[in-house]
Each structure stands twice: as C-alpha cells, then as structure tokens.
Amino acid sequence: MRINDEASARRFVGDLTDDDGMKRLDLLCELLVDENSRQNLISRPSEQFMWQRHIADSAQLLKFVPRETNEPPSGPWLDLGTGAGFPGLVISAIFPQTPVILVESRRRRVEWLERAKNEMGLSKCEIEGKRLEMVAPFPALIISARAFAPLPKLLNLSAPFSTERTTYVLPKGRSAAQELQELPARRRKLFHVEQSLTDPDAGIIVG
C-alpha cells in the first residue's frame, strides 16, 4: 500500500485504531498546529499534510514491531529525541494501553509534550525531559527515533536500554541505506532497510 495523500493516510491509520484513537489523533493535529505558531515543531508547509507526513509516517512503524494481529505492542516503547512527539505521541494515541516513554531534552518541547499528553488523556505515556544519558536504564521492547542521531551514535547511546528482545524501528529518510552500510559488519547484519509507505525515497532501519 502506498500512502500518497491525506485520505489514504487516514484510512491506513484508521485500520490500526478505533474511533477514540482517531479522535485523539485529530486533537493532536489541532494542538500541534496551534503550538507550531509559537515554536518551530514541524515545517509550516507540512501542516497541510499532517496525516501523511507525520501521523501515518509514525504509525507505519507498527508494521515492524512484535505484536499479535490487532493487538497493541506490550512495550515499553522508548522513543528517542521525540521532538514534536513523532512517533511516540502517535503510537500512544493509537494504543493508549502501551507504555511509551518519550525522551526529549529541550525544555519548550517537553512542555508541549506534557500538554499534548494530558489533553489526549494518555496515562501510559511518560515524558523524560532530559538527555538520554541521564535516563535510568530499563529493558525496552521497542526503540524508535525519527531524527535523533547518526546510527552508530544512536545505537551506542541506546545500548543500556536494549536487550536480545528489543526491536529497533528507525526512520532515516534517504540516508537509511548509507547509514546502515557505515556500521561494522558485525552490527550491520542485525539490521535491514524497509521502504517507507509515505515517501518512496525514504527508508526505515529495522532490527
């Protein structure tokens, strides 16, 4: 399936969640556009393509994580450098019963994340407003990062949270294959690149 407009993006996400989940995501879009007038969370042009560029782009990561059909991931899901809340807030809105931990060190973005989390009623979503190095390690079932750090640095920083059961889902845009090739062979064989559903030129590193 290709997600190439707002309608197909909504259909894709609607198949993953219920009506309440879609209402939470509509609220997230409203809150984000409002906050984007005060701080630069996303590019202004992308506001017109919120579902394709941000919501479905985040939700597609669920294709690559361990879970039973139509069941939420058990978690915990660790989202690094979450920024405006992608993919972490989207995952939490779709599956509010899954523990999702969002790591973000920038104060104004932390304030925004707390506001969005509270307004959407996401009780299992936790915001860690600090650098990842300062977060107490725990075994994460899933680790995601949309725009956090180059792959070698990302893997090194997240190592305290990774176990044999951990799945990484890392949207890397056009640099995915190149970043993977730059890993040592021993680490490289643990990962592969999947094509993004929302951008034919973008890749997602999965491992």
Q: What CATH code is carried by the domain that includes residue 156?
A: 3.40.50.150
- Residue 58 in any domain: the answer is yes
137 occurs within a structural domain: yes
DSSP per-residue string spanning 37-64 = TTS-SS-GGGGGGHIIIIIHHHHGGGGG
In a domain? residue 153: yes
Q: Is residue 185 assigned to a domain? A: yes
Two tokens, residue 122: 């996401």
DSSP annotation of 129 reads -
Report the alpha-carbon distance of residue 132 to residue 29 in Å, rounded.
26
Q: What is the percentage of the chain residues whose pLDDT exceeds 90?
A: 88
Task: Determine, yes or no, domain membership for 33.
Answer: yes
Q: Find the domain containing 76 and state its range.
A: 6-64+71-206
Task: Specify the amino acid at residue 145.
Answer: A
Q: Considering all CA atoms of the chain, what is the largest pairwise distance in Å, rounded to the nearest integer?
A: 45
Burial 91-116 (b: 16+ CB within 10 A, else e): bbbbbbebbbbbbbeeeebbebbeeb
Q: Is 1 a domain residue?
A: no
Summary mean pLDDT of the chain: 94
Task: Look at the chain and report how many structural domains it folds into.
Answer: 1
In a domain, 122, yes or no: yes
Q: Is residue 118 part of a domain?
A: yes
pLDDT digits (tens, 9 = 90+) for 1-46: 789 999 999 999 999 999 999 999 999 999 999 999 999 999 999 9
Structure-model confidence comparison of residues 1 and 150, the more confident one: 150
